[in-house]
Amino acid sequence: MPLVGIMVLDDNGHVKLGPVVLLLSAAFAVAPAAGVSARPGKQHCRGGVLHSVGTPRVAYAAVVKSRAQVYRRSGGRAPLAKFRQLNQNDYPTTFSIVGTILNKSCDASWYRVKLPMRPNGMVGYVRPTAVRVEAVRARITIDLSRRELSFYRSGRLVLTTPVAVGSSATPTPVGRFYVNQKLIPVNPYGAFGPAALGLSAFSDVLTGWAQGGPIGIHGTNAAWSIGRAVSNGCIRVPNATLQKIFGAAPRGTPVVIHP
């Protein structure tokens, strides 16, 4: 069973010093993929062209092996950003693969990836040699107007739950994101509940918050808030349901937030 780094939060959302690890059940382990199987067959290969990656049933995560340079475009010279193996919270740096550029042999020469940085929806290109690819069969959708979260496994709906969403003053951002880290609060009975999924999304309002105001899906000690628009932008889920989702949603899980 793999060891996965977990960021530790106190009740005020501050990161506690020193990483801890969580032993995940093998039932929820992410299956590694030697390559992105969604690429076209060789008979249809078009080298140098961007091909989309992923389906409603399976997505792909790219986990940084040691260091990775990300560029605005394939073949770029000046890096857009540089990433280490572990992020600032000592969690494995993870991207979401949304496209691939193939060479003449139909092997990936670049991955187009979503990035965990501002502005929301930021994408770039990384060399396949810099990352390890993992298949992800979970997917989350959030409907802000209905205040409802749906969790899918291999394209099948597993559960739907009411949630609390951002208030009018601190709205939840809309867009396509992904789970980029998994968090364990110091106090399981505090404001974040027993666990949280950190997303690649950031608040459009709380730019001065720690680490830029990241958005997450987490539990809560305010059960009354479920079904209401009262949060600072994060998605609050009933604690028992959150624990189920936390266990079944690996890093790289796509998260689509609708108005």
Question: Any idea what the CATH number is for the domain that residue 205 is in?
Answer: 2.40.440.10
In a domain, 10, yes or no: no
Instruction: Tell which wins on pLDDT, 52 or 210.
Output: 52
Same domain, 152 and 186: yes
Q: What percent of the chain has pLDDT over 90?
A: 72
Question: 256: closest CA among 148, 167, 108, 109?
Answer: 148
Residue 237 phi, psi (nearest 5) = -120, 145
Instruction: Tell which wins on pLDDT, 185 or 236.
Output: 236
- 218 is known as an active-site residue: yes
Q: Residue 150 in contact with residue 140, Cβ under 8 Å?
A: yes
Pull the structure tokens for residue 40: 């076209």
Pairing mode of beta strands 123-126, 108-114: antiparallel
Same domain, 146 and 251: yes
Residue 74 phi, psi (nearest 5) = -65, 140
- Each residue of 66-99: pLDDT tens digit? 999 999 999 888 999 999 999 988 899 999 999 9
Please give the pLDDT value at position 62: 98
Please give the pLDDT value at position 6: 41
In a domain, 22, yes or no: no
Cα separation, 7 vs 147, whole angstroms = 27
In a domain, 1, yes or no: no
Residue 35 has pLDDT above 50, yes or no: no
Please give the pLDDT value at position 28: 24
In a domain, 23, yes or no: no
In a domain, 243, yes or no: yes
Per-residue exposure over 43-80, b if at least 16 CB sit within 10 Å of its own CB, e if not: eebeeeeebebbeeebbbbbbbeeebbbbeebeeeeeb
101-105, 131-135, 167-171, 219-223: range with lowest mean pLDDT:
101-105
In a domain, 67, yes or no: yes
Decide: residue 82, CB within 10 A, 0-12 exposed, 13-18 middle, 19+ buried: exposed
Q: Mean pLDDT throughout 180-202?
A: 94
Pull the structure tokens for residue 258: 């609708």
Q: Mean pLDDT throughout 209-221?
A: 90
Q: Mean pLDDT throughout 105-114?
A: 94
Decide: residue 18, CB within 10 A, 0-12 exposed, 13-18 middle, 19+ buried: exposed
The pTM assigned to this predicted structure is: 0.84
Strand ranges (E), the chain: 3-9, 20-23, 50-52, 59-64, 67-70, 81-84, 94-102, 108-114, 123-126, 131-136, 138-143, 148-153, 156-162, 165-166, 175-185, 196-202, 214-218, 229-231, 235-236, 254-258
Please give the pLDDT value at position 44: 62
In a domain, 223, yes or no: yes
CATH number of domain containing 120: 2.30.30.40
Strand ranges (E), 189-234: 196-202, 214-218, 229-231
Q: What percent of the chain has pLDDT over 70?
A: 83
CA angle 148, 177, 92 (to 5 degrees): 120
Please give the pLDDT value at position 26: 23
Residue 162 phi, psi (nearest 5) = -70, 150
- Most confidently modeled range among 10-24, 100-114, 220-234: 220-234
Q: Which of 100, 119, 136 is the last residue of a domain?
A: 136
Please give the pLDDT value at position 226: 98
Catalytic annotation, pick one of 14, 45, 218, 258 = 218
By residue range, what is the domain housing residue 186?
138-258
Same domain, 57 and 72: yes
Q: Which of 136, 154, 170 is the last residue of a domain?
A: 136
In a domain, 198, yes or no: yes
Please give the pLDDT value at position 106: 85
- 258 is known as an active-site residue: no
Number of domains, the chain: 2
